[in-house]
Structure 1
Amino acid sequence: MGDDSQAVQQLKMQLRRSQSMAALGELTSTATHEFNNVLMTIINYARLGIRNQDAATRDKALGKILEASERAAKITGTILAQARNRSESLEPTDLGEIVRDTLVLLEREMNKYRINVATEIDPATSKVNASGNQIQRVLLNLLINARQAMPDGGELTVRLRNSEETGFVDLVIRDNGSGIPAETLPRIFDPFFSTKSGPDDSGKGGTGLGLAACKEIVDAHHGKIRVESSVGVGTAFTIRLPQC
């Protein structure tokens, strides 16, 4: 029995590593796509400025180039944070910073699918004891799931604040999409369970994590994740993590 238990634990570790690599690959792919879009903006406005000699056109081109360059710097900073600055170990973490970084990567995608994103980040929110990388992967997964639940556009709200439960912080991701049927809701955190038939037209089917892995990450942070959903009304995921 001891050998079997050890083998199961090793397989679980290998699965977690594979999921982490898949999620990081999804994040890098999203960031690369965003960066290429920004680069094309810079190139096009640079050409506009070169072709036109009048001051007004050149000022407009330079303004757009500066705006795009600042966005490129944000995208690069987010990837560098994933690669270097955030540890996989639990440490005092500002969830507001993670929310803002993640939304930078998804801004163009949300606009493309006509998703209006509202953020409600309470500046008084306490830091949590967390791995920033792991929580960002969970957040990315939930945000993409929410976007996919609103194929015709919709409203997405990300709310961060101290929980009513003393000593915890609540991160809420709410959409007004298709919702989850009541008979399906109890199973969404089951391993290998999915309501998706495959990747959507953007090529995404999540981030390689799945809700079961998201729950496992939250559980490992001594936190809780719950879902409320109604068909035709929308879905809200609440991640509750302990304060430092």
Structure 2
Amino acid sequence: MALIKYQFKNYIRTYKLIAPFVTFFTLLIIMYFYSGQPIMSSFASTSMVLLFVTGWITVTIIDAESLQEKQLLFTQLKSKSTYLTNKLIFSILLILPLGMVAIIYPIITFRFEHIPNVIEIVIGIYNHIITIIVGVLITTLLKTIPKLSHKFVWLIMMLIFLFSILGVVIIEAFSISSYVLWIFPPISDFMMMLNEDIMLILNKDFLIINIWMVVYLVILTTVLYINFNKSEYI
């Protein structure tokens, strides 16, 4: 907890939070400019925007500390894994309010076709949290790859996010791509499910997608920790 407080104070001083937060809020207002919008597909749209903003914020969080500061923290904590865990928790906690705003704003401004029920709100919150976790893990993993320049981190991150979102569409157009696209997070499957009626979402396919997402996150987290502990910097 002490490290998270330190990271918060250190990060706030950089003012790097302003641009992504303002961008997200602006896009949110634009997306909900008109009322009477479908609930679940709107949540899917804000999740897509949140994925890119999450990557943006995570990069700025990681870059907020100099290499010397990181090495000092490694020494104090006596564990690089502890440092990484705190960094991931801090990133998720910092971005989480954006996900909550994406759920609350259209409800209190009456932008949906009807008042969302509890199930719709819970699924919306769940989807945004999953999106944040995926964005933080992937971005952090890219930042742990040695000798990968800042520009390439941004490029690869954007491509991964795009393929993750468009995966289902690409596979429908080019079925052979399914042999490659499985390495990307199954976010597109989530988005496609959210375009269905709420009663059609809660079925066996939704359970399978969630199981695969959990397995994917476990594998991604494992790879991240292994790579981070082997790397000299983040």
Higher strand share: 1
Same fold (TM over 0.5): no
Relative CO higher for 1 or 2, CA cutoff 8 Å, sep ≥ 6?
A: 2
Give the TM-score, by structure 1 length.
0.30
Give the TM-score, by structure 2 length.
0.30
Higher helix share: 2
**Largest Rg, 1 or 2:** 1
